[in-house]
Amino acid sequence: PGAVAAYPMYRGLAKLVGMKVIPTGRTFDDELDTLEQNFDNHDFFFLHYKPADAAGEDGDFDAKVARLEELDARIPRLRSLNPDVLVVAGDHATPAIMAGHSWHPVPVMINSALTIGDGAPAFHERACAEGSLGRLPATELMLLAMAHAGKLVKYGP
């Protein structure tokens, strides 16, 4: 597995769990360039996006919305690589009103040829909680990603 992350802590975590950390620049566009250049070299990538979290930590709601919209505008670029599975999730919530990390659930989206759409009208905490994944422990996410990639012989007990 490969990891593309500009933020040092996430490079360290990726290395700790055995991923190859691929050097990249400081911006998310740099990260996307790095991903595109290395996409055929790995069967799994961890790609980290820091700006929305940073805006939440700064307590700047408008900046957080703008950073999320910037990420959203880049999803077609990610999809153009034709990944077997695309998972979009957060490692924690960072509400601008709290200017820090919180216990709130984060939205999760999984897209693949094996995904059954659930008609969720948007990608945010409330819409995702009502979607087909509902609220799930983070420990189940990798298993679901592998299932959506068709990499499991059997799902469940």
Residue 59 neighbours by CB under 8 Å, 6+ apart: 96, 97, 98, 99
Residue 90 reports pLDDT greater than 90: no
Confidence label for 132 from pLDDT (cuts 50, 70 and 90) = confident
Block residue for tokens 């805006």: 55
What average pLDDT does the chain have? 91
Q: Which domains does the chain have, with CATH numbers?
A: 2-148 (3.40.720.10)
Confidence of residue 107 (pLDDT cuts 50, 70, 90): confident
pLDDT at 152 over 80: yes
What is the average per-residue pLDDT within 12-37?
96
Contact, 55 vs 96, CB < 8 A? yes
**Class of residue 41 by CB neighbours under 10 A (exposed 0-12, middle 13-18, buried 19+):** exposed
Percent of the chain with pLDDT over 90: 71
